[in-house]
Structure 1
Amino acid sequence: MPAVVIANNGDVPEFEGRITFNVILCAVIAACGGLMFGYDIGVSGLYLIMDLNLLHFLYIAMINSADAIKFMQTSGGVTAMDDFLKKFFYQVWERKQQAHENNYCKYDNKKLQLFTSSLYIAALIASFLASKTCSKFGRKPTMQLASLFFIGGVALTTFAVNIEMLIIGRLLLGCGVGFANQAVPLFLSELAPAKIRGALNISFQLFITIGILIANIVNYAVGKIHPYGFRISLGIAGVPALLLCFGSLAIYETPTSLIERKKVEQGRAVLKKIRGVDNVDLEYDSIVHACEVASQITQPYHELMKRESRPPLVIAIVMQVFQQFTGINAIMFYAPVLFQTVGFGSDAALLSSVVTGLVNVLSTIVSVVLVDRVGRRALLLEACVQMLITQCIIGGVLMKDLKTTGTLPNGDALVVVIMVCVFVAGFAWSWGPLGWLIPSETFPLETRTAGFSFAVSSNMLFTFVIAQAFLSMLCSLRAGIFFFFAAWIVVMGLFALFLLPETKGVPVDEMVDRVWKQHWFWKRFFNDEQVVEKGAIEMIHPHLT
């Protein structure tokens, strides 16, 4: 049985260190992986992963409107650009010109769906491969590999001459996304001091939102350049990938990864540099101990199936699933037509993208500021209330006034536009960024890369599932889809209230002892000998005895 030290709450030793330039530099460069992902989401018209379904909605919401075709030419990403559709999806382009036909429930194009979903299927598979490279070669090389995949994908999609090149390019982009989404959050969690780990980790999500906003503006600007505007839009996606590729040459590998791969002295040296102090013995010993435990595990995926590994695994997967079931997709699809209804005409698509994009960015900054002050659970619970109220208001207004044809009265549309912004704000400072932060910080080292690969793959899987199911859901439920997602938000709130532990300020390698073994529910997954009394913490490191 390991040595046990009982300490009162508040007596937990803190690791020494400052917030250094090296940490900030590493975080900014690594977060370019988020910029890379975000720009691709925006440039592909996949803002919140539903470009095709946005077209379906516009068919019904804009029907009989003289601005319908012009509106559709300025909304979405390259998938809404006529030059792109005529080149690769001619049948879709032809149907787009017939916007007066109320046939959106039967509208379908398998190749366009493949273009949409191929990235996420590739990312799902790539996340498991990235888990292996993270463990064997390190977090930094995995990020570099992600950028190379992405650059290759950008080259193919930019210069594609047929649908086959386009799909292969999307698959390479998916590999880049899978590798980046696996490596970057882990890199940020292991690099950051515990007191600002949440803020630094959320920089990944912040850069995603910035990338989306930039892409929306680029899409609008190049949409008027014929016939190669879409190629410019796709090609610029290589810029953040190049930033990550070359920028990563100037940053450090995480001390945890170095020590895990037997580069012990190099790990200690890097720890001193990123913490800005010479006395790093406490944190160093904690990392060494975690690595010693991890080295005894030869099959991390098998280890994940053990009883004591279930708490972080369940949390990681559930957080990703809930992120997709907030209803953010449904909210974003209605945004452009609501802005148009209020009176912004054919500029509504750009305006809605920019306004909601700015709300997204600014609210993510709020999360950066608050997450290490008020904690993860407080942000999630507050956002559940905020999103629940706005979903119900939006659903009620649309159910009352938005019919199969026509648009909303201006007053109602203005109310819904405001509610959309309030909803996006709540999502952006809670389930959006924390859906990535919490899974990246809760696994012990021995199952960290394997466990987080399940989180990434779950995100990609349910993104794909929601993308494929949304059309039929929208067709059958109409405005009722908002109440469907509102019910899920209630479930999410109850889960966060009763089953989600607080991880604020806890060193990433101390989660098992300080968090899981102390939680009223999850502690039952550990042997009685491993669990201490409430208000006490089990320490198994010799330097703390």
Structure 2
Amino acid sequence: MKSVSHSVYFCAMVVAFGAFILGLDAALISGTIKYVSKEFSLSDMEVGAMVSAPGLAVLFALMITGYICDQIGRKKTLIGISFIYIFSAITSTFAPNYETLVVARFVGGFAFTSLSVAAMYIGEIAPSKIRGKLVSIVQVSIVVGFSAAYFINYGILMLSQSDLTWVSSLAIDTQTWRWMLGVEIIPAIIWFALLFKIPKSPRWLIMKGQEAEAKEIIANFDHDLSPEEEVAQVKHSLEIDPASKSFIASFKALFSTKLRKAVIVALTIAIVQQATGINAILFYAPTVFEQIGVGTDAAFLNAVVVGVVGVAFTIVAILLIDKVGRRPLLMSGLILASISLFVCHIGFKQATYQLTSEQIIEVKNEHGIEGISHMADITFETDIEFKAALRKNMSESELRAAESILLQNATNINVAVVMTGIMLFIIAFHYSLGPILWVLFSEIFPTGVRGVAIPVFAFISSMVSYFVQQFFPWLLNNVGAADVFMFYAVSGVVGFICLYKLLPETKHKTIEEIEAQLVAN
């Protein structure tokens, strides 16, 4: 029994490693923003485009992911995705200009479909008694990737500031951002190699009429039913579900009356997970922390803390999801997320900004900034007013170079309130919204439409994520941190209201039992 269990976990770990690379890719870019912006003199919208380029690409990729998965299988699709990660990582690292970097990251975004395919694959190989735990490994992998990237970024930042000879000889001090991005290359190659060691999805094999091979795989995975019973049950599900006959029929089935409840649940979770602003905080972590005036080094260190907290509470989710259930975790997480985001709103709303004459002289000597002497001892009530005043007297490149030190000197804010709000939100997200989205996506749709449904709703989630990433720098500088966090808080409240009556409990139920509960007759 031990070896059988190990086989299931091994496959889940290998497939979920792609989510680790996604997390690494997403968080590594957060450390490069300051350097790339300065080197290429980027505007807020250009920064947003650089960060969100993968989020835009994945929108196009998800349109065809379901079709590809159903045609060539989950395993081959994942192998193709891993190759894209390798290409993107290498091209991004050696990009000679901003345009090449954006294109390389855009191409890499096609690989971000690894999340939906991984959830689909794991959901199809996992016994129901541990399915929630196994699918949650995808979310653990993401946050471990984020955390690893924050550690790496901080470590490279510290090295770049050292006087070690080898640091200079390797150009870590002058090409800091390239070293940050280059870290992704090695794990991407490792994942590519590991994917050849996993079997095909047994449910996909049954859909393709390859029942003998499916039975062999099911026998190794300790399912609740015998291989023969499992195959018979899946075949019955496919026979009564005409959507399983073609990709077009599967897509049309999503708009049918009988799937309405499942679709509403999936749509709500897909939107709310990203509308609460998780990727604004994770993808721009050092930038967010610089807004409370802690300085660049402390901002990178706080990002490391965010990563560690995220990993810890995702593990908590894995331990609880098959015991407590999906619904209690999700509902409590939405409440805590909304409250914590509102706390951040209050913290930024009460902040004021003022530079003294001594601070202005210090910035002038260190960065050569002229023309802001008249701002001495003037109190600005919002970050918007303060940044607008700076922009009147500084170029975009000058502001990019000195923004961290200016905010550090000028910001008068209750750091403890904002930090508490951010950390509570990270906790809430990672034990609820983060892992549970992929678990529910893998559970609530019938086998015949899952290959289309998961990519469709992953597409919707990714679309919201793209807009959050693209416009966050602009919103931060034109709307203000307080109102941005207020919007995120309201999104959490709306999500809670929508899901409270609609979301059923799915723990310890087979996919077919969940289908019977959610699908209208």
Whether 2:446 is the aligned partner of 1:492: answer no
Whether 2:7 is the aligned partner of 1:22: answer yes
Q: Residue deviations 1:37-87, cap 9 Å, x none?
A: 000001111xxxxxxxxxxxxxxxxxxxxxxxxxxxxxxx22222xx4455
| Cα distance, 1:423 vs structure 2 | 1.7
| Cα distance, 1:264 vs structure 2 | 0.5
Alignment of 1:513-524 (within 5 A): 513=516, 515-517=517-519
Q: Residue deviations 1:362-407, cap 9 Å, x none?
A: 0100110111111111011111222232222232232123443532
CA contact (8 A) 1:202 1:437 kept: yes
Structure 2's unaligned 5+ residue stretches are 161-171, 353-380, 387-409
**Alpha carbons of 1:362 and 1:293: their partners in 2 closer, same or farther (altered >3 Å)?**
same
| Cα distance, 1:160 vs structure 2 | 2.0
Q: 2:98 aligns with which of 159, 163, 179?
A: 163
The whole-number CA distance in structure 2 between the counterparts of 1:213 and 1:187 is 25
Q: 1:456 aligns with which of 458, 464, 481?
A: 458
CA contact (8 A) 2:74 2:117 kept: yes
Q: Which residue of the partner structure matches residue 411 of structure 2?
A: 407
User: Aligned AA for 1:377?
Assistant: R
| Cα distance, 1:292 vs structure 2 | 3.4
**Alpha carbons of 1:294 and 1:155: their partners in 2 closer, same or farther (altered >3 Å)?**
farther
Q: Mean alpha-carbon deviation: is it higher for 321-330 or for 491-500?
A: 321-330
Q: Which residue of the partner structure matches residue 420 of structure 1?
A: 422
| Cα distance, 1:485 vs structure 2 | 2.4
User: Aligned AA for 2:24?
Assistant: Y
Q: Mean alpha-carbon deviation: is it higher for 439-448 or for 481-490?
A: 481-490
Whether 2:36 is the aligned partner of 1:32: answer no
**Alpha carbons of 1:443 and 1:217: their partners in 2 closer, same or farther (altered >3 Å)?**
same
Structure 1's unaligned 5+ residue stretches are 1-15, 46-76, 93-106, 518-525, 531-545
Q: Which residue of the partner structure matches residue 98 of structure 1?
A: none
CA contact (8 A) 2:122 2:135 kept: yes
Q: Which residue of the partner structure matches residue 385 of structure 1?
A: 335
**Alpha carbons of 1:38 and 1:339: their partners in 2 closer, same or farther (altered >3 Å)?**
closer
| Cα distance, 1:350 vs structure 2 | 2.2
The whole-number CA distance in structure 1 between the counterparts of 2:216 and 2:34 is 51
Q: Which residue of the partner structure matches residue 211 of structure 1?
A: 145
| Cα distance, 1:145 vs structure 2 | 0.7
Q: 1:122 aligns with which of 57, 66, 87?
A: 57
The whole-number CA distance in structure 1 between the counterparts of 2:9 and 2:44 is 46
CA contact (8 A) 2:116 2:458 kept: yes
Whether 2:310 is the aligned partner of 1:360: answer yes
| Cα distance, 1:504 vs structure 2 | 1.2
Q: Which residue of the partner structure matches residue 3 of structure 1?
A: none
Q: Which residue of the partner structure matches residue 347 of structure 1?
A: 297
Q: 1:153 aligns with which of 82, 88, 95?
A: 88
Q: Which residue of the partner structure matches residue 510 of structure 1?
A: 513
The whole-number CA distance in structure 2 between the counterparts of 1:334 and 1:128 is 27
Q: Residue deviations 1:91-146, cap 9 Å, x none?
A: 23xxxxxxxxxxxxxx5354x43322321121111112221121111111111110
User: Aligned AA for 2:330?
Assistant: L
Q: Which residue of the partner structure matches residue 33 of structure 2?
A: 79
**Alpha carbons of 1:255 and 1:109: their partners in 2 closer, same or farther (altered >3 Å)?**
closer
Q: 1:43 aligns with which of 14, 28, 46?
A: 28
CA contact (8 A) 2:127 2:223 kept: no
The whole-number CA distance in structure 2 between the counterparts of 1:277 and 1:449 is 23
Q: Residue deviations 1:336-372, cap 9 Å, x none?
A: 5896799965531222111111111101001101111
Alignment of 1:69-148 (within 5 A): 77-81=31-35, 84-85=36-37, 87=39, 89=40, 91-92=41-42, 108-110=44-46, 112-148=47-83
User: Aligned AA for 1:248?
Assistant: L
The whole-number CA distance in structure 2 between the counterparts of 1:22 and 1:120 is 33
The whole-number CA distance in structure 2 between the counterparts of 1:322 and 1:338 is 21
Partner SS, residue 425 of structure 1? helix
CA contact (8 A) 2:24 2:146 kept: yes
The whole-number CA distance in structure 2 between the counterparts of 1:109 and 1:478 is 17
Q: Which residue of the partner structure matches residue 241 of structure 1?
A: 188
User: Aligned AA for 2:44?
Assistant: D
The whole-number CA distance in structure 2 between the counterparts of 1:169 and 1:359 is 30
Q: Which residue of the partner structure matches residue 284 of structure 1?
A: 231
| Cα distance, 1:335 vs structure 2 | 6.8
Q: Which residue of the partner structure matches residue 297 of structure 1?
A: 245
The whole-number CA distance in structure 1 between the counterparts of 2:121 and 2:253 is 22
Q: Which residue of the partner structure matches residue 11 of structure 1?
A: none
Q: Which residue of the partner structure matches residue 123 of structure 2?
A: 189
Q: Which residue of the partner structure matches residue 523 of structure 1?
A: none
User: Aligned AA for 2:8?
Assistant: V
CA contact (8 A) 1:143 1:183 kept: yes
How many residues matched?
450
Alignment of 1:199-348 (within 5 A): 199-223=133-157, 224=160, 225-275=172-222, 279-293=226-240, 297-298=245-246, 299=248, 300-329=250-279, 346-348=296-298
**Alpha carbons of 1:420 and 1:430: their partners in 2 closer, same or farther (altered >3 Å)?**
same
CA contact (8 A) 2:268 2:499 kept: no
CA contact (8 A) 2:119 2:442 kept: yes
Q: Residue deviations 1:211-245, cap 9 Å, x none?
A: 11111122223341133332232222122322321
| Cα distance, 1:284 vs structure 2 | 2.7
**Alpha carbons of 1:484 and 1:165: their partners in 2 closer, same or farther (altered >3 Å)?**
closer
Q: Residue deviations 1:182-222, cap 9 Å, x none?
A: 31110111111111111111111111111111111222233
The whole-number CA distance in structure 1 between the counterparts of 2:37 and 2:346 is 35
| Cα distance, 1:282 vs structure 2 | 2.8
**Alpha carbons of 1:483 and 1:200: their partners in 2 closer, same or farther (altered >3 Å)?**
same
Q: What value does the CA root-mean-square deviation take over the aligned residues?
A: 2.7
CA contact (8 A) 2:132 2:507 kept: yes
**Alpha carbons of 1:199 and 1:229: their partners in 2 closer, same or farther (altered >3 Å)?**
same
| Cα distance, 1:464 vs structure 2 | 1.6
The whole-number CA distance in structure 1 between the counterparts of 2:178 and 2:284 is 27
The whole-number CA distance in structure 2 between the counterparts of 1:18 and 1:497 is 40
Partner SS, residue 305 of structure 1? coil
The whole-number CA distance in structure 1 between the counterparts of 2:17 and 2:285 is 27
User: Aligned AA for 1:273?
Assistant: N
CA contact (8 A) 1:394 1:416 kept: yes
Partner SS, residue 374 of structure 1? coil
CA contact (8 A) 1:315 1:439 kept: no
**Alpha carbons of 1:366 and 1:233: their partners in 2 closer, same or farther (altered >3 Å)?**
same
**Alpha carbons of 1:290 and 1:363: their partners in 2 closer, same or farther (altered >3 Å)?**
same
